[in-house]
């Protein structure tokens, strides 16, 4: 039996516990501010999940990134351990998809920012894919996030890291993930151990294909996120475009 796990960062009281820190395993350090749409979701100044800025007042992320506590969205960051002049810190309201049950399906959420972000060279929105857009298999897409780098010391990266993963055929994903995988609402990717990819805690970050975000990081194998036999799974954004549009229209 495969143990899937929503890749979340566990936050308990004042301490961060467990081996679920956010991470891109392997990969490389991103050029500072080359992904100005990236958001770091933080509780008490600790990074919990990723997200993307899709309008001045909305960030798109995963529904399992919802906590009982207030989330602060940090925009314009490269090194999340520093108070960079480029950073904007804005509190946000959770709006998870109404059909999300805490499992794997419908794992998508909007964050309504309590004040609009100021757009500049460090902070920019990213456009969403078209409703009927097809994503061909076997194209390489980018993923990005903050955290563990996959070294033996399990040290976290203070700066944004990125790598590439390849779109996998849905039939293969269904064969491996069985009932966890819903091809209508999910995408999955293949990757190599050398190049790595998303891991526990990269939740909510984007899968960028041909400059457009096509997926939101959702779940991977609990025991070994860097095992290429178990594809990484992403919530398919274009399926949820009507819901996103409805929420943003108020």
Contact 217, 207 (CB under 8 A): yes
d(C-alpha 215, C-alpha 236), whole Å:
5
Whether residue 107 lies in the annotated active site: yes
d(C-alpha 139, C-alpha 134), whole Å:
12
- The three-class DSSP label of residue 236 is strand
Whether residue 15 lies in the annotated active site: no
d(C-alpha 250, C-alpha 248), whole Å:
5
- The three-class DSSP label of residue 123 is coil
d(C-alpha 186, C-alpha 208), whole Å:
14
- The three-class DSSP label of residue 36 is coil
Given 33, 64, 78, 238, the catalytic residue: 64
Given 22, 40, 157, 203, the catalytic residue: 203
Given 107, 157, 232, 238, the catalytic residue: 107
User: Which residues are designated catalytic?
Assistant: 64, 107, 203
């Amino acid at each position: 039996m495969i143990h899937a796990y929503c890749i979340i960062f566990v936050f308990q009281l004042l301490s961060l516990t467990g081996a679920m820190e956010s991470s891109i395993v392997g990969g490389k350090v991103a050029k500072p501010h080359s992904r100005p749409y990236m958001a770091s979701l933080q509780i008490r100044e600790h990074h919990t999940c990723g997200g993307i800025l899709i309008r001045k007042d909305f960030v798109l992320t995963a529904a399992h990134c919802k906590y009982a506590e207030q989330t602060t969205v940090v925009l314009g960051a490269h090194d999340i351990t520093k108070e960079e002049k480029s950073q904007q810190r804005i509190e946000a309201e959770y709006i998870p998809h109404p059909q999300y049950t805490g499992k794997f399906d419908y794992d998508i959420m909007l964050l309504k920012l309590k004040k609009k972000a100021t757009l500049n060279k460090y902070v920019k929105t990213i456009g969403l894919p078209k409703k009927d857009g097809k994503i061909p298999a076997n194209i390489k897409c980018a993923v990005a996030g903050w955290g563990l780098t996959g070294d033996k010391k399990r040290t976290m990266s203070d700066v944004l890291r990125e790598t590439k993963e390849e779109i996998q055929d849905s039939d293969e994903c269904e064969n491996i993930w069985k009932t966890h995988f819903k091809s209508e609402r999910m995408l999955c990717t293949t990757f190599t151990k050398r190049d790595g990819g998303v891991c526990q805690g990269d939740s909510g970050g984007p899968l960028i294909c041909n400059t457009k975000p096509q997926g939101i990081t959702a779940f991977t194998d609990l025991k070994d996120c860097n095992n290429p036999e178990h594809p990484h799974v992403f919530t398919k954004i274009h399926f949820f475009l009507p819901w996103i549009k409805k929420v943003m229209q108020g």
